Amino acid sequence: MFEDIDKSSEVSRYQDEVDGVIFFGYWNKLLPENLTSLDTLSDLWVNASIDLKSRKWQSEDYNCFAVEVHIKSWPIAKDWDNIIKNSLLWFIDQGAILAWCGGEDSSPSIEIFNPDRSVGNVYAAYSSEIGYICNSSLLDEYQELEDAQLSRIAHSIKQ
């Protein structure tokens, strides 16, 4: 997935794990032809060293743009919350109606906000109607969004 993979491991893996987070933006219409350069997203990660990799999923009724953030050097803990929030807002500023992030178990599927379907986890999310939701900071124990929060977000994008 990213460069600098440790090839000495004897365990065969589908995908090597690296420190990082995956951000997703959801559009209910076609993705903009020219999403803003990833450099503007990278600039939000103050006091950190990162690599970015993007991917698009497009269909008639589903359009998602994802950015994998490989964290080579972690930001200062006090900056974390603003970095996550501003990274989510980067997608909203590009026209996404919803942005979220999570770890390797997160998903580009909007079904991730349906608590009855276990399709992944969400660390933080942002929508214009709900605002920013995140349950833990960098130094806290990792906490995913709760079912009630996921349902609230799902309801907000169906309107």
pLDDT tens by residue, 132-156: 999 999 999 999 999 999 999 988 8
- Sign for the CA dihedral angle at 127, 129, 130, 131 comes to positive
**Is 4 a domain residue?**
no
**Is 24 a domain residue?**
yes
Q: What is the domain count for the chain?
A: 1
**Is 9 a domain residue?**
no
pLDDT tens by residue, 19-58: 899 999 999 888 887 787 899 999 999 999 999 999 998 8
**Is 5 a domain residue?**
no
**Is 48 a domain residue?**
yes
pLDDT tens by residue, 83-135: 999 999 999 999 999 999 999 889 888 889 988 876 789 999 999 999 999 99
Q: What is the mean pLDDT of residues 60-71?
A: 89
**Is 152 a domain residue?**
yes
pLDDT of residue 101: 97
**Is 120 a domain residue?**
yes
Please check the confidence at residue 4 and state whether its pLDDT lies above 90. Answer: no
pLDDT tens by residue, 70-84: 999 999 999 999 999
pLDDT of residue 49: 96
Which residues form the domain of 105?
A: 20-158
- CA–CA distance, 139 with 136 (Å, rounded to integer): 8
pLDDT of residue 122: 96
**Is 15 a domain residue?**
no
Cα dist from 108 to 23, 55, 99, 159, whole Å: 9, 10, 10, 20
pLDDT of residue 67: 96
H-helix or E-strand containing 35?
none
